[in-house]
């Protein structure tokens, strides 16, 4: 009996913003035709082949002088940070970064870019390019950072036990600045911005209620105490006109703010409508000191609504009758009759649901106010395992698939865990850790051991149907690719399967093909293992605007009979795989408009 199994009598009573997905070709942000002191706007609609996309984090930043923009985009199926001068037509990717660069922020002198390497570390790189430098590891997913004039960085993570943290740009000890107070209804401290002078920090207090109940607060770095400035806002930014600009419900609002007394001087007034906000309260905008504003326009709530869709190996698709939702990480049960899936609600919380495919019926499976993500099934389909931040670090939990019984924590760890696959005999669970390595969890004692350890980032492992091989994704050659090793003797060889980039490997039921995605394509590679492992040339299975490129977590699944894939696609996608994209908007000399709308004493 395996650790995930229970006697039948017991069964009877019983994880992690905005992603701007765009290649350099569409960033043709036009400056005003006639430079003038007045306010000028420029709106960009990218081509359907390269739409803007939304995900956790704030993924657009301006240099303080307003001359350059750094954003996260997708190019050739890979995530990059791009740098673009606002007076030029082309953007340049910062090469050599991780597979998952997020939440860029810029040094006060505009020469360096800070960013998060997924959920692993805080890093920096020259804005002109070059090798990145790791500053420190992080205890959870990124939730904002600010670079001070003294070369310290205040940052936040999705670990509610840590609050705001501070570290020097050269690394060293990490200082805890705040700790959320649950007795006061505080859930987390997020989205910091160091105020001019470097003695205070604006930040967001996420409360236990709806996202609109979040509070904007100010922390004194001298006393360590903080005060709530006003309720009903998130992602606050100070601007030198004497205002705080912040997001709520897809609108930017502004209040007057006295920097000397750290007090609000006016009532809030809406200043920009239809600004994309994520489920964690991130408002996707930035403001330069010269008065330039950039923001992503769109509806609030993170990723656009998604449809669930079957796609066969000829590319024919069939929408499931389920209503559109904010879905992620769909996983089919071993018999293919059900799926487990992550669903995010309007307040930004995510839970696991199960879905009976034949009955078109969703059932809520988890009921916690933390983020639950990335479900998958035990080999017999009797239980569901998922990752949850309820302990602060994103560990694995398990419960009976019918919803009965207690939630059980498995494989306790200080690092985040996302489970993906089982050994053929069901004895070992293989999961990806936030430190970038793969681990096994096995035995009644749930012993955790590294599968193998490298200096690179490995994720999304899948064991072959016969249990002899394990496919996974790694960035060891600088780009995400699919590799295969023997299993469980992972030191017995290694083969690169994808030709020019690839993520998210999935085995065919007979183990004779290995599927993976790259960009908007799903490919298949023939596999032979008669004498040794051998991978043939990849063939295109299908192309389409499906969710196939997001980092770390599961993205799609293969039916047990191997005939069709369970995918998600943005609601409103047409038969030609096009849809109305989001816009990136620039407003030049915006301070004049702000001062007119919100006069300050």
Q: Mind listing the pLDDT tens digit for each residue in 515-532?
A: 999 877 899 999 999 888
469-474 β-sheet, strand order: 458-463, 469-474, 481-486, 495-496
Predicted local distance difference test score (pLDDT) of residue 335: 97
Specify the pLDDT at position 584: 82
Residues contacting 217, CB < 8 A, separation 6+: 202, 203, 204, 205, 226, 227, 228, 229
The list of the chain residues with pLDDT below 50 reads 6-36, 45-50, 300-303, 574-580
pLDDT in tens, 416-470: 788 889 999 999 999 998 778 999 999 778 889 999 999 888 999 999 999 999 9
CB 437 within 8 A of CB 415: no
What the block records as the tokens of 379 is 């080999």
| pLDDT tens digits for range 268-320 | 999 999 898 877 789 999 999 999 999 988 754 444 578 999 999 999 999 99
Q: What is the pLDDT, as a whole number, of residue 369? A: 77
Q: What is the CATH number of domain 24-301?
A: 2.120.10.30
Residues 273 and 248: their CA atoms lie apart, in Å, by: 10
Q: How far apart are CA 119 and CA 100, in angstroms?
A: 9
Counting Cβ atoms within 10 Å, is residue 318 exposed (0-12), middle (13-18) or buried (19+)? exposed
Among all chains, which residue has been given the structure tokens 């007394």?
261
* Domain 8-14+303-570 listed as CATH 2.120.10.30: yes
Q: pLDDT value at position 576?
A: 45
Q: What is the pTM of this model?
A: 0.70
Count of residues for the chain? 601
Question: For position 37, what pLDDT does the model report?
Answer: 60
> What is the pLDDT at residue 165?
97
226-231 sheet: strands from edge to edge: 186-194, 200-207, 215-220, 226-231
Structural domain spans, the chain: 8-14+303-570, 24-301
Q: Is 228 exposed, middle or buried (0-12, 13-18, 19+ CB in 10 A)?
A: exposed
What is residue 27's predicted lDDT score, i.e. its pLDDT?
38
Fold match flag (8-14+303-570 vs 24-301): yes
- Taking a C-beta distance cutoff of 8 angstroms, is the pair 192, 206 a contact? no
């Amino acid at each position: 009996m395996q650790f995930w199994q229970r006697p039948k009598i017991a069964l009877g009573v019983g994880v992690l913003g905005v992603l701007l997905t765009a290649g350099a070709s569409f960033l043709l942000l036009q400056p005003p035709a006639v430079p003038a002191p007045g306010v000028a706007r420029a709106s960009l609609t990218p081509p359907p082949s390269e739409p803007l996309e939304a995900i956790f984090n704030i993924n657009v930043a301006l240099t303080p002088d307003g001359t350059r923009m750094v954003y996260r985009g997708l190019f050739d199926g890979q995530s990059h940070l791009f740098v673009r001068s606002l007076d030029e037509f082309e953007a340049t990717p910062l090469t050599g970064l991780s597979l998952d660069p997020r939440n860029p922020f810029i040094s006060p002198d505009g020469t360096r870019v800070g960013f998060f390497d997924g959920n692993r570390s805080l890093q920096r790189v020259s804005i002109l390019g070059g090798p990145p430098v790791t500053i420190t590891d992080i205890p959870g997913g990124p939730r904002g950072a600010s670079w001070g004039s003294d070369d310290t960085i205040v940052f936040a993570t999705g670990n509610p036990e840590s609050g705001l943290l501070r570290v020097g740009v050269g690394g060293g000890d990490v200082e805890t600045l705040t700790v959320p107070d649950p007795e006061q209804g505080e859930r987390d401290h997020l989205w910091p911005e160091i105020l001019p002078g470097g003695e205070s920090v604006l930040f967001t207090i996420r409360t236990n209620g709806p996202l609109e109940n979040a509070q904007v607060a100010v922390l004194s770095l001298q006393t360590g105490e903080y005060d709530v400035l006003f309720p009903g806002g998130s992602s606050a930014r100070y601007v030198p006109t004497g205002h705080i600009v912040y997001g709520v419900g897809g609108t930017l609002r502004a209040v007057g703010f006295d920097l000397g007394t750290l007090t609000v001087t006016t009532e809030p007034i809406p200043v920009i409508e239809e600004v994309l906000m994520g489920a964690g309260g991130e408002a996707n905008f930035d403001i330069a000191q010269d008065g330039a504003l950039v923001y992503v326009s769109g509806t609030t709530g993170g990723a656009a609504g998604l449809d669930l869709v079957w796609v066969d190996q000829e590319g024919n698709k069939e929408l499931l009758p389920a209503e559109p939702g904010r879905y992620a990480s769909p996983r089919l049960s071993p018999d293919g009759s059900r799926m487990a899936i992550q669903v995010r609600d309007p307040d930004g919380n995510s839970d696991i649901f199960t879905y009976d495919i034949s009955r078109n019926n969703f059932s809520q499976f988890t009921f916690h106010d933390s983020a639950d993500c990335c479900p998958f099934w035990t080999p017999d389909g009797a239980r569901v395992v998922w990752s949850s931040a309820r302990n602060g670090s994103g560990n694995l939990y398990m419960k009976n698939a019918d919803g009965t019984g207690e939630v059980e924590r498995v494989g306790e760890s200080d690092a985040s865990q996302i489970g993906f696959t089982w050994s053929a005999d069901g004895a070992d669970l293989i999961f990806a850790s936030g430190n970038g390595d793969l681990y096994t969890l096995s035995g009644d004692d749930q012993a955790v051991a590294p599968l193998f350890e490298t200096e690179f980032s490995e994720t999304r492992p899948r064991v072959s149907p016969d249990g002899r091989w394990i496919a996974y994704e790694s960035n060891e050659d600088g780009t995400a690719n699919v590799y295969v090793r023997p299993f469980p003797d992972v030191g017995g060889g290694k083969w690169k399967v994808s030709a020019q980039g690839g993520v998210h490997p999935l085995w065919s039921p007979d183990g004779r093909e290995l599927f993976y995605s790259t960009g908007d394509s799903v490919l298949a590679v023939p596999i032979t293992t008669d004498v040794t492992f051998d991978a043939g040339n990849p063939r295109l299975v299908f192309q389409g605007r499906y969710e196939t490129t997001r980092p770390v977590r599961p993205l799609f699944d293969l039916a047990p009979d191997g005939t069709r894939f369970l995918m998600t696609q943005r609601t409103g996608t047409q038969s030609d795989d096009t849809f109305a994209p989001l816009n990136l908007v620039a407003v030049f000399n915006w301070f004049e408009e702000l001062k007119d709308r919100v006069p300050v004493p």
